[in-house]
Chain A
Amino acid sequence: MSRLLLLSPLLLFLGLAYLLPLSGVMLQSVTTPEPGLQNYSAALGDPLVWSVIWRTLRICLCVTVLAVVLAYPLTLLWIKGNTTTRVFIELAIMIPFWLSVLSRAFGWLSLLSNRGLINTWLQSLGIIAEPLTLVRNEFGVIIGMMHFLIPFAVFPLASAMRAVDDRVILAARGMGASRMQIFWQIFVPMTKSGIVGAALLVFVFSLGFYIVPTLLGGGRSVMIAELIYLRIFQIPNWGLAAALSALLMVSIGAFLVALIKRAGVSS
């Protein structure tokens, strides 16, 4: 009871500042401009919505896999490396983590554009004749989002890796397991909850991305958040925008529940 009392300011705040407006949005999706489910049928019957949903899923899945795969060895080095390595990795993770998403996106633009650093180097080294198209497409969006989200994969992975009992590793080594065997058969399975957690966090976070796809996507990589923005501000159709938001929220929720159940990380 006293716990509930202690939590009550937070619950009250969340209720007023979050749940109430949220339910307003949900209500709008079935009442604007008139009661009924027409906003949902309009949203789901619109080929543009489907192509945007499909692109959003495609980009977010790529980003999730890449971010987690790249974050894994990085985290391992961070946890197990010597002091210099740790400090270096810590800086490499934390500095971009604190930088605004805008400046990071512009940084990528200047690296990846036609007269950017990478193309200039490759051309002056004679490796390529014509500049590669590295940005203003989905590739650029994936790079930018992945870079933004790697720190979010690192933290759950780190806590899972820290929880691995070193004695288990020692025991495996004592039993004659090779380094590869220890890694793939002992260490990775023991950090499974961290992998799932990292993937979930990155995926859910990535679904709502707006700035990175807008800046790095060359205008043609419209994702769901931008479509909702469009429906609120550019060509106002709030009922439709609310329906899209509801669909996004419900599908993320369903996805989370399914994954959590499946991975058995209910705790």
Chain B
Amino acid sequence: MHKHFQQDQVSMLKEKLKAGELSRRGFLQGLALLGGTSALGLTAGSAHAADKEMVFVNWGGDAIDAMAEAFGKGYAAESGVNVLYDGSGPLEGSIKAQAESGNPTWDLVDCDPFSGQALGKLGLMRPIDWDVVDPGKLRDGFQWEYAANSYFYSYVIVYDKTKYDTPPTSMADFFDADKFPGKRAMYKWGVGMWEAALLADGVAPEDLYPLDLERAHAKIEGFKEHIGAYWGGGAESQSLLLNGDVSMAIIWNTRAMLLDRDTEGEIAMTWAEGIVAPGSTGVLMNNPAGEKAAMEYIAYSQEPEAQAKLFALLGNGPANPAADALIPDADKFYNPVDPANFAQQTPLDMEWYEENYGAALDAYLGVISA
């Protein structure tokens, strides 16, 4: 889920850059932020001749090389450690392969907190050093042993305004094809969808966990005929709505924001009963650059200015609540963790996912593909 989300961020940045909405510098800043916060150049003749290097694995692609010039200087000046961005993608299986070799080439990865936790308990990730990384700069409940929250995103309802006189205001509306006729789209990898189904079925947000999978799957099974597609990536979710393949969907807030802006509100979003997901940074066990540099890097990425910048570029919610205030009023509506928006939503329970995600996804795929 998270990895797909991450990959999506980079493609959104690229699209913006192409559309001229984003300066080259802003683009590079965005990429660097995605990596955690700062990226660092290895430009020859750099004023900060760093003696060490660190590899952060994210979903970058071609533009990574150029990140050097735009960012990271601050972090390099502070630490003397250059950060190289590797876009090969820290899939959970790939992290495992790296870490199990005992001699990884990766230092930091962008991972789901529950993946980080699961891998950490196998001895493959370093515990986060909460003396270096500041737990006070994170929202309550989003500190983990092996993963440090780096931003938020949400699963929210978007709908084609031209098709409905009244907007949907709950997951029950999403699952009600009589009241809101038209095809729907849901997420292929299950996350957030069980919660949506249970909320629609009348479960109170505070009673969601542990998820009653049987009940959720029965709800989805009964609604399946109305589902036009299960999207696997952000661009796909966006095109499903733009192409008119579906008229309502649960998608990432970052894509919802783009749809809302690009269609001038014709495809609108609501935070009502949205599901908030945390993204995080993890450190591989025996990472080549060592524990200290990796932890300091994460600490550096907590700065409110950097967090607000990430939101400005992509719509990711800041992990550091101090950044909320730095967001211009006009854009606050799009911040998934803005107090007004957060209050309407439910956060994912990472502990539940750590224990149950594999089996739950299996069952979910069995339901949606049958």
State the A residues within 8 Å of B (CB).
46-48, 51-52, 55, 113-116, 131, 133, 136, 214, 218-222, 230, 232-238
Contact = CB atoms under 8 A, between A and B. Distances in A.
Q: Which 3 A-B pairs have the closest CB atoms?
A: A219-B230, A233-B93, A235-B358
B93 A232 contact: yes
Contacts of B245: 113-115, 136
Contact of B93 (A115, A116, A238): A238
A236 B369 contact: no
20 contacts: A48-B363, A48-B366, A51-B370, A55-B369, A113-B244, A114-B245, A115-B243, A115-B245, A214-B232, A219-B188, A219-B368, A220-B369, A222-B369, A230-B365, A232-B93, A233-B94, A234-B361, A235-B362, A236-B96, A238-B93
A114 B92 contact: no
Contact of B232 (A219, A235, A238): A219
B358 A237 contact: yes
Given A218-B229, A219-B188, A48 B365 contact: yes
B333 interface: no
Chain A interface SS verdict (over half) = loop
Contacts of A116: 243
A232 B95 CA distance: 11
A212 B83 CA distance: 36
Contact of B189 (A131, A234, A236): A234
A241 to B, nearest CB: 8
Contacts of A48: 362-363, 365-366
Given A131-B244, A222-B369, A235-B361, 12 more contacts: A48-B362, A48-B365, A51-B370, A114-B244, A133-B228, A220-B369, A230-B365, A235-B357, A235-B358, A235-B362, A236-B93, A237-B358
Most central of B91, B229, B232, B368 by chain A CB within 10 Å: B229
A219 B93 CA distance: 21
A238 B232 CA distance: 22
A115 B244 contact: yes
A236 B97 CA distance: 10
B300 interface: no
Contact of A221 (B93, B243, B361, B369): B369
Contacts of B363: 48
B231 interface: yes
A15 to B, nearest CB: 23
A141 B73 CA distance: 48
B2 to A, nearest CB: 11
